[in-house]
């Protein structure tokens, strides 16, 4: 599955055009108006502003975090977190450090997507969207790099080539779905051996098009949910067809229930509702299967129950939510709300 790496080949001026056209998302919080809790149009459940646990501290040493960018959770509720140092660190559900390792290359940038993948042989892998190296890397859960399982590594627009990889997930058959942004706002599908199957998308605002497909999740009904971040919406696709067919589009830009502002990640609860992590609105929102907003949690700030540019969210086996409070360099855990 491995392809030759060429990390300098991507058209960097195109990336600058992207950032010029849509704004540097790293500063999205700079133009947000002040908020109070609950946010306008949102209904908070009783006590939802108070998290169960807040843990993490800014730093470079073991167990500390520096602007964490992605989170994944395994069946034992261990949390895998990558930050802007290029470290993958593993914690238990209470924030106790368990183990960690460093990405093989970090000079050009650090990963922005993680997911746990159950393979057809029932082994578990951690899939890493190695964003600025145009590839997906796979690790076992002990942190051993599975070098032969790499997909990508060549910058470009052809099959099996990538722009900036955002996320990677696998379905129940072991197929891989990999998102990318930049000049190639698209998704690519690979079979369990890493062979290219098809691609779809492209930069735009129509159904099936994307502007930064940042977060990917496959639900129990084999639907792919895509956090179409800069279109401020969620798109869903039917994976029973090749290429996957567009099912529906949820949301649109705004601050009310059922609206989003830069949704970066999402997680599906056991009851079929979804938790959307909104970088721009600096909150979590729970929606039903039709995209109707149920409740919101969070507001900009540094106190427990407040968020600074959150990047990721997962739900554990006890139906608790863990959110990456990225620019506060911490994780908050809360009960399901709404």
Is 331 within a domain? Answer: no
Cα–Cα nearest to 311, from 111, 142, 62: 111
Is 278 within a domain? Answer: no
Cα–Cα nearest to 94, from 143, 141, 49, 52: 52
Cα–Cα nearest to 79, from 130, 116, 109, 124: 116
Count of Cβ atoms closer than 10 Å to residue 22 Cβ? 15
Interval 73-86 mean pLDDT: 98
* Residues spanned by the domain of 163: 12-31+103-251
Evaluate if residue 192 carries a pLDDT over 80: yes
Its pTM stands at 0.89
Residue % of the chain over a pLDDT of 90: 85
Report the C-alpha gap between 15 and 8 in whole angstroms.
Answer: 13
Is 16 within a domain? Answer: yes
Is 327 within a domain? Answer: no
Predicted confidence (pLDDT) per residue in 264-294, tens digit: 999 999 999 999 999 999 999 999 999 999 9
What's the total number of domains in the chain?
1
Is 193 within a domain? Answer: yes
Interval 91-96 mean pLDDT: 98
- Which range has the worst mean pLDDT, 33-42, 220-229, 260-269? 33-42
Evaluate if residue 14 carries a pLDDT over 70: no
Write the DSSP symbol of residue 39.
P
Phi-psi sector, 104: left (phi>0), alpha (psi -120 to 50), beta: alpha
CATH number of the domain bearing residue 203: 2.120.10.30
- Which range has the worst mean pLDDT, 47-61, 99-113, 177-191? 47-61
The DSSP annotation for 191-227 comes to -TTS-EEEEEE-BSSSTT-BS-EEEEEE-TTSEEEEE
Evaluate if residue 223 carries a pLDDT over 50: yes
Is 326 within a domain? Answer: no
303 Cβ partners below 8 Å, 6+ apart? none
Name the helix (H) or strand (E) containing 90. Answer: strand 87-91
Residue % of the chain over a pLDDT of 70: 86
Supply the mean pLDDT for the chain: 89
Is 240 within a domain? Answer: yes
CA distances 159 to 168, 173, 235, 240, Å, are 16, 21, 22, 21
What's the longest Cα–Cα distance across the chain?
53
Is 163 within a domain? Answer: yes
């Amino acid at each position: 599955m491995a392809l030759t790496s060429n990390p300098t080949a991507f058209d960097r001026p195109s990336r600058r055009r992207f950032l010029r056209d849509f704004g540097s998302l790293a500063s999205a919080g700079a133009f947000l108006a002040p908020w109070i809790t609950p946010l306008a149009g949102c209904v908070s459940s009783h006590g939802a502003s108070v998290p169960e646990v807040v843990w993490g501290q800014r730093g470079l040493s073991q167990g500390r975090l520096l602007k964490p960018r992605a989170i994944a959770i395994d069946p034992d509720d261990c949390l895998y977190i990558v930050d802007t140092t290029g470290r993958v660190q593993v914690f238990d559900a209470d924030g106790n450090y368990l183990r960690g390792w460093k990405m093989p290359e970090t000079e050009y940038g650090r990963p922005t997507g993680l997911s746990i993948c159950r393979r057809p042989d029932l082994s578990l892998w951690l899939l890493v969207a190695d964003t600025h190296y145009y590839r997906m890397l796979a690790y076992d859960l002990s942190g051993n790099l599975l070098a032969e399982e790499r997909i990508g590594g060549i910058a470009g627009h052809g099959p099996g080539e990538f722009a900036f990889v955002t996320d990677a997930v696998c379905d129940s058959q072991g197929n891989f779905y990999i998102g990318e942004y930049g000049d190639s706002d698209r998704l690519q599908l690979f079979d369990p051996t890493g062979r290219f199957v098809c691609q779809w998308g492209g930069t735009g605002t129509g159904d099936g098009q994307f502007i930064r497909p940042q977060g990917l999740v496959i639900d129990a009904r084999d639907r792919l949910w895509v956090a179409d971040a800069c279109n401020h919406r969620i798109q869903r696709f039917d994976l029973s067809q090749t290429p996957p067919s567009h099912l529906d589009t949820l949301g649109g830009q705004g601050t009310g229930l059922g609206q989003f502002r830069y949704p970066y990640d999402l997680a599906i609860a056991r009851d079929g509702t979804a938790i959307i992590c909104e970088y721009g609105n600096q909150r979590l929102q729970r929606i039903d299967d039709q995209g109707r907003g149920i409740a919101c949690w969070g507001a900009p700030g540094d106190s427990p129950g407040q968020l600074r540019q959150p990047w990721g969210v997962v739900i554990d086996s006890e139906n608790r939510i863990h959110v990456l409070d990225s620019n506060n360099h911490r994780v908050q855990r809360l009960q399901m709300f709404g």
